[in-house]
Amino acid sequence: EVQLVESGGGLVQPGRSLRLSCAASGFPFGDYAMHWVRQAPGKGLEWVSGMTWNSASTGYADSVKGRFTISRDNAKNSLYLQMNSLRSEDTAFYYCAKDVYSSGGGYFDLWGRGTLVTVSS
Amino acid sequence: EIVMTQSPATLSVSPGERATLSCRASQGVSTNLAWYQQKPGQAPRLLIYGASTRATGIPARFSGSGSGTEFTLTISSLQSEDFAVYYCQQYNYWPPESFGQGTKLEIK
């Protein structure tokens, strides 16, 4: 089955760290750029970060630049998001999404169901 | 950074009628524009890409048009399952990938 499954969300205190994972299956993961998109409760979609198929190029939203790091392991069909110095405004559902292109800059044709990150003391 | 603006924020339409949703880009994005549908508790689903091409399995009542800075998603003869939130996204320039703030389509 073609799917993306996120994990690693939970309740974390402000200033702490969390690492999200996204497990891909049913398609050649290493052939595509991948992204993280988040959605605060009751709010719209916000692109967070993206990475090309070979990890050569990455991009970050200004709101997370310097605090979040995207990475991938093509041998494990997995995408990651290391989130440091977490803030209350980072509270959101985090979705993993597949780009249609290997180099990024495309639309997203496959989404995971999301994992909830709550930043609160 | 390209800013995507959707209108209206909420659209009330009766089942069986037509709905027209708009999306404007702060600068030209050619036809590199996608539309997504999101229902409560679900992930977004791709509806339209290339401004006007329906994704696999999307019914013909969904159609997209536009280029440059002005785009439209039209849903003809609304079905009950179409009431959801719709987002546009530009992918002409990245990073970042920009989404609109969404239009909630509700039953009138």
Nearest CB partner across the interface for A46, out of B36, B46, B99: B99
Q: What is the pLDDT of residue B94?
A: 85
Alpha-carbon distance values, B76 to B33, B79, B90, B107 (Å): 20, 9, 23, 14
Test A59 with B55 for CB contact under 8 angstroms: no
Distance CA B13, CA B45 (A): 21
Test A107 with B102 for CB contact under 8 angstroms: no
DSSP A15: T
Instruction: Report whether pLDDT(A64) > 90.
Output: yes
B→A contacts (Cβ < 8 Å), by residue, are: 1, 34, 36, 38, 42-46, 49, 55, 87, 89, 91-102
Contact B88, B3 (CB under 8 A): no
Q: What is the pLDDT of residue B97?
A: 87
Distance CA A7, CA B3 (A): 30
Condensed to tens digits (0 to 9), the pLDDT of residues A89-111 reads 999 999 999 999 999 999 999 99
Chain B CB within 8 Å of residue A34 CB: no
Test B91 with A59 for CB contact under 8 angstroms: no
Percent of all residues in chain A with a pLDDT value above 90, rounded to a whole number: 100
Q: Which of B85, B100, B84 is nearest to B29 (CA)?
A: B100
Contact B73, B48 (CB under 8 A): yes
Condensed to tens digits (0 to 9), the pLDDT of residues B14-55 reads 999 999 999 999 999 999 999 999 999 999 999 999 999 999
Would you mind telling me the total number of residues written for chain B in this entry?
A: 108
What three-state secondary structure class fits A42? coil
Q: What is the pLDDT of residue A38?
A: 98
Q: Which of A16, A34, A3 is nearest to A117 (CA)?
A: A16
Query: How many CA atoms, within 13 angstroms, populate the side-chain half-sphere of residue B43?
Result: 23
Contact B38, A108 (CB under 8 A): no
Condensed to tens digits (0 to 9), the pLDDT of residues A14-30 reads 999 999 999 999 999 99
Chain B CB within 8 Å of residue A50 CB: yes
Instruction: Report whether pLDDT(A74) > 90.
Output: yes
Q: Which of B12, B52, B8 is nearest to B34 (CA)?
A: B52
